[in-house]
Amino acid sequence: MKKHPFLISFLVVLLLMSCQTSKTFYGTTYSNLEATKNVYRLDLSSYQKEIDLSEFSELRMLNLSNVGSLARLTTILNTIPNPDQLEVLLLNNNQLKTLPSSLLRFKALKQLSLHKNPNLDLKAAFMDLSSIKLEFLSLQENQLSQVPKEIGLLRTLKEINLSQNNLSETNFFDDLAELPELQSLWLRNNGITVLNTSLSKLSQLVHLYLEHNQLKELPNNLKGLKSLRVLHLSFNQFEELPENLQNIPKLILLHIDHCYIQTIPHTFGPKTTSIKGLVMNANALSSEDLKKWKLIFKNNFLLIF
Amino acid sequence: MGHQFLKIIFFLIVSKGFTQNLNYDGAVTLDVKITLGNQNRFCQLGISAFGISNYHKIALEGGISVYTGYLFKKHSLHSKGFIGGYDVFYLLGYGQNNNLLGSSLSQYNNVILYDHQHRNAFYGIGFGFEKQFLPAYLDEFEQRIGRFMMRFASNHHSLGFSFKNDFKIGGLFYGDATDFGATGSLYINYSNAKSSEEIHQVGFALELFTPQPDYGRIANHQMNSDDGRKNVWHTIGLHKNTFYANSYLSYKLQQNSMVYQLNTGVESHKLGAYIQNKLHDGFGLNPRYPWNVAQNNGVYLQGEVQTFINSL
C-alpha cells in the first residue's frame, strides 16, 4: 500500500520534467554555443561571435534578437539541422524589412516575436507566414498605425500582441474577425481613445487587454463578444464603471484598476453581470461606495477594491 | 451561508427530542504538536471537537479546531512569534458515519478519532475554512482559506479528498478572494484504523504558495511567460520572491496517545508553474505568477509529533 503512492509521485514528477512544456519553456536557457547536446532553449540576443547552429538538433526555442542583418539571419536559420523541432523564435530588434526566407523551413513554429522591426513589410510578412501554423505573433513597438488586411491569412493564429504601437484608430477588428482561432488580443499602450464598434465582431475572442490607453467609455454593442471571459482595462480614463460591460455575456474577470472611477451604475450587481472576479483598486470611489460595493460583490471569487 | 450547516450539525448532536433513528456521537481532543521541517517549524497547543449525526442513511459530520503556539519558521521564512488559528469543516453524506473516522479530515488536528464498535459506510461531500494568525513579519499571508472535501468510507477504511483555495465561491467555498499566499492545495488521504489504539494513514499532497501580485503594474513579467506569450504578474510585498510548490507523500502512525507523521517529497517551481499555469490559462484567471521555471527542484521534508488526550 505504501509503495504505490511513492511510485505514482515519482512518475508524475518524471513525466512533468520530460514533457514538451518542460523542454520548450522550463529548461535551461543557454546563451552561448559551448554546449550542443540537449540544448532546447538558446538565447543569442547578446552573443557577439559567429553563429553556426549546425550542431543544435534539439532546439525548441531560439532567440536571435539584436543579431543584425537579414542576410545574417537567413544564413543562421539555414544552419539549423532539425527545423521541425523549433516552436518559438524571437527576431526582435533586427531592423528587418522582410522576413528571412529560411523562416519558412520551420513548419512547426508556433510563436514568432518581431518586436522593434518598424520597417517590416507586414503585408508581405503575413503572406509568407500564412504557410506556417503560427499560434502567437508579437508585433510590439513597431510604430504601427495600421494592420494590413492580410492578417486575415493567418488562420491558425490564437494570440496576437499589438501593444506599444500607434493603433489608435482600431479599424482592423473586421480583419481580426476573420481569424477563427483568435483567443487573445493585446492592444496596450496604443493611445486609443475610442474603440471601433466593429470590436463586437470578435465573437471568438476570450482575452482582451487594453491597458494604458485613454479610454473613457466602451462601445454600446458589446453583446457580440460572445466568448470574452477576461477583460483588462486598467490604467485608462474611465470615470464611471461602463454600464455596457453587463452586456458581455460570459465575462468572468474584469481588471479596471488605476482609472478615475468615481461611480458604479446602480444597475450593477451579481444578478446583472457574469463578472465573478473584479480588480478595481486605485480608483476614485468614496469610502462609503467602497463599503457598499464590496458588500454587493462579496461572493466574487476574486475581489480587489 | 454554508455555516448554517454547522448549526444544523450541532443542533442534531444536542437535540434530545429526535426519534430513536437519530444517532449522534462526538469527542473532544486536547493536544500538543511539534512540527519540524525545512519549510515549517513550530509548536502548537490545541483543542478540537468532532461530531457526527445520522438519521437513517442521511449523515452529517463536522469538526472544529482552535490552537495557539509559537512559530520559528513558516512558508520557508524564518520568523519568531506567537500564532493562533482555527479550522472548521462539515460534510453531508449518505450512509452512517458512527465510527468517527471523518475526523481524519481535520486540517490542523492530526489526531484521528475511531470508535471501533461501529462498522458502516459513508459517502459525503462538504466544505470548510481555516485561518491562521501569524507574526507581523508574515501577516500578509493571513488569508482565510476555503476548502472543499469528499470522504468515502467503509468499515475501518476512509478515503478523504480536500481541495483548498483562497477563492470565494458563493457562501460555501469561503476563502478570502485574494489569489495569493497558500493559494491552492490538494490532499488525498487513506486512513486505516486497525483499532482505536492503532491507526495508519498514507497520503498525497500538492501545495502551492505565491506572493502578492502587484496590481499597480502591468502583468508583463518575463519569467514563466512562455517567452512573452502569456501575461505574468510582477509581485509585491515583504516576501515578493517567496514561492513554493510541494508535492509529497505522507505517512502517519497513531498509537495510543501519540501521533507521528512524516512528509517527504519535492519542492518544485516547475511543478508549481505547470499546475498554476494550467488553471490560470485555461480557466481565465490570468495573469500567471512569475515562478522561476529554470530553478532546480529541492527536497521537501517535514516531521510532526503530537501527544493528545481525548474524551472517547
The residue behind cell 514563466 is B224
pLDDT digits (tens, 9 = 90+) for A132-154: 999 999 999 999 999 999 999 99
CA distances from B112 to B19, B43, B115, B219, B258 (A): 29, 19, 10, 44, 11
Chain B residues in contact with A302 by the CB 8 A cut-off are 167-168, 177-179, 285
Q: Do A90 and B286 touch (CB under 8 A)?
A: no
Lowest mean pLDDT among A17-31, A102-116, A182-196, B120-134: A17-31
Q: Do B273 and A161 touch (CB under 8 A)?
A: no
pLDDT digits (tens, 9 = 90+) for A50-61: 999 999 999 999
Domain encompassing residue B31: 3-310
Q: Is B308 helix (H, G, I), strand (E, B) or coil?
A: strand
pLDDT digits (tens, 9 = 90+) for B222-266: 999 999 999 999 999 999 999 999 999 999 999 999 999 999 999
pLDDT digits (tens, 9 = 90+) for B41-86: 999 999 999 999 999 899 999 999 999 999 999 999 999 999 999 9
B14 pLDDT band (50/70/90 cuts)?
A: low
Grid coordinates representing B136? 507581523
Reply yes or no on whether the pLDDT at B7 is more than 70.
Answer: no
Q: Do B229 and A6 touch (CB under 8 A)?
A: no
pLDDT digits (tens, 9 = 90+) for A270-282: 889 999 999 999 9
Residue B287 preceded by cis peptide, ω within 30: yes
pLDDT of residue A15: 63
Grid coordinates representing A76? 543562421
DSSP label at A101? G
B25 pLDDT band (50/70/90 cuts)?
A: very high
- Phi/psi of residue A173, nearest 5 degrees: -65, -30
Nearest-neighbour CA in chain B from A112: distance (Å): 9
Closest by alpha carbon to B107, among B186, B16, B216? B186
pLDDT of residue A197: 95
A17 pLDDT band (50/70/90 cuts)?
A: low
pLDDT of residue A7: 59
Longest dimension (CA), chain B: 66
How many Å apart are CA B260 and CA A142, to the nearest integer? 62
Window 217-246 of B, Cβ < 8 Å to A: 218, 224, 226-229, 231
Q: Mean per-residue pLDDT for B290-305?
A: 96
Q: Is A124 helix (H, G, I), strand (E, B) or coil?
A: helix
Reply yes or no on whether the pLDDT at B4 is more than 80.
Answer: no
Q: Please name the amino acid found at residue A158.
A: K
pLDDT of residue A238: 98
- Measured between CA atoms, the residue of chain B closest to residue A88 is B227
Task: Decide: B52 and B10 in contact? Cβ < 8 Å.
Answer: no
How many Å apart are CA B160 and CA B184, to the nearest integer? 17
pLDDT of residue A1: 44
**Tally: H helices and E strands in chain B:** 2, 16
How many Å apart are CA B222 and CA B234, to the nearest integer? 9
How many domains would you assign to chain B? 1
Reply yes or no on whether the pLDDT at B97 is more than 80.
Answer: yes
Alpha helical stretches, state H, B96-215: none
- Measured between CA atoms, the residue of chain A closest to residue B192 is A1
> A294 — contact with chain B (CB < 8 Å)?
no
Strand partners, B288: B232
pLDDT of residue B169: 80
Q: Please name the amino acid found at residue A37.
A: K
pLDDT of residue A168: 96
Q: Is B237 left (phi over 0), alpha (psi -120 to 50) or beta?
A: left
B20 pLDDT band (50/70/90 cuts)?
A: low
pLDDT of residue B12: 56
pLDDT of residue B262: 98
Grid coordinates representing B107? 486540517
Reply yes or no on whether the pLDDT at B16 is more than 60.
Answer: no
pLDDT of residue B108: 85
Reply yes or no on whether the pLDDT at A190 is more than 50.
Answer: yes
Chain B residues in contact with A16 by the CB 8 A cut-off are 268, 270-271, 274
In sequence order, the 6+-apart residues with CB closer than 8 A to the CB of A16 are A22, B268, B270, B271, B274
pTM score: 0.88
The CATH number that applies at residue B64 is: 2.40.230
> B253 — contact with chain A (CB < 8 Å)?
no
Reply yes or no on whether the pLDDT at B17 is more than 60.
Answer: no
Nearest-neighbour CA in chain B from A197: distance (Å): 24
Q: Do B215 and A282 touch (CB under 8 A)?
A: yes
Q: Mean per-residue pLDDT for A59-81?
A: 94
pLDDT of residue A23: 82
B28 pLDDT band (50/70/90 cuts)?
A: very high
Q: Is A53 helix (H, G, I), strand (E, B) or coil?
A: coil
Q: Is A135 helix (H, G, I), strand (E, B) or coil?
A: coil
Nearest-neighbour CA in chain B from A166: distance (Å): 19
